């Protein structure tokens, strides 16, 4: 059985380190045996088709291949297209969102630490809002992400898992690209 997978590379093409062309990423993913590979923007977003078993190990396989072939060390977070559809369908705060660039989804590479999850639930950063559902954290920053106190939260340490953020426009574009 084949499944569509979305891969989110953390920290690619941000600043001077971990620079790569998306053509290199597409080639790397194809070399790993994935098919119908597409990338979105220059920030390490890819969608591809894999067998069900390959989809389960895709994040680790991509991390190893990036280090081995391109010398890039970064966290890779994956979701199936069905998982991403659920992320979009279950998104809180959509009724408040007026600008998709100010609504972010943080994708965790594992389950959040229960104590960290409770701490996130108790954050009061009004007018900004935060919500944690499963392995995703949703941030609404009406004055902008850089101006938000949420931009200073050490999410990885707080939640006990690596987090990579994408704005709502990117999330929905990746869902469309996945065909879900």
Q: What pLDDT score does 180 carry?
A: 66
Q: Rounded mean pLDDT of the chain? A: 94
pLDDT one-digit tens code per residue, 10-22: 988 777 778 888 9
pLDDT higher than 70, residue 101: yes
Residue 16's pLDDT is what?
75
Q: Are both 2-83 and 84-178 of the same fold?
A: yes
Share of the chain above pLDDT 70, in %: 99
pLDDT tier at 103, thresholds 50, 70, 90: very high
Q: What burial class does residue 160 get, using C-beta atoms within 10 Å of its C-beta: 0-12 exposed, 13-18 middle, 19+ buried?
A: middle
114-124: per-residue pLDDT in tens? 999 999 989 99
Domain boundaries, the chain: 2-83, 84-178
Q: Are 28 and 34 in contact (CB under 8 A)?
A: no
Model's pTM, two decimal places? 0.94
The hierarchical CATH code for the domain 84-178 is 3.30.70.1260
Q: What is the pLDDT of residues 24-69, one digit of tens each?
A: 999 999 999 999 999 998 888 999 999 999 999 999 999 999 999 9
Q: Strand order in 2-9's β-sheet?
A: 35-40, 45-51, 2-9, 76-80
CB 161: neighbour CB atoms within 10 A? 21
Which CATH number does 2-83 carry? 3.30.70.1280
């Amino acid at each position: 059985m084949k499944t569509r997978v979305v891969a989110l590379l953390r920290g690619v093409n941000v600043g001077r380190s971990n620079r790569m062309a998306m053509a290199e990423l597409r080639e790397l993913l194809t070399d790993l045996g994935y098919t119908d590979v597409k990338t979105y923007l220059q920030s390490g977003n890819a969608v591809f088709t894999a067998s069900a078993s390959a989809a389960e190990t895709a994040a680790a396989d991509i991390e190893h291949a990036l280090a081995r072939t391109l010398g890039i060390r970064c966290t890779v977070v994956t979701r199936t297209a069905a998982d991403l559809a659920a992320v979009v369908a279950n998104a809180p705060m959509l009724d408040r969102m007026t600008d998709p660039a100010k609504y972010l989804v943080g994708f965790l590479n594992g389950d959040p630490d229960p104590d960290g999850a409770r701490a996130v639930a108790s954050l009061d950063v009004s007018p900004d809002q935060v919500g944690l559902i499963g392995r995703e954290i949703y941030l609404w920053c009406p004055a902008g992400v850089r101006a938000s106190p949420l931009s200073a939260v050490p999410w990885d340490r707080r939640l006990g898992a690596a987090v990579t953020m994408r704005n709502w426009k990117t999330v929905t574009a990746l869902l469309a690209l996945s065909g879900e």
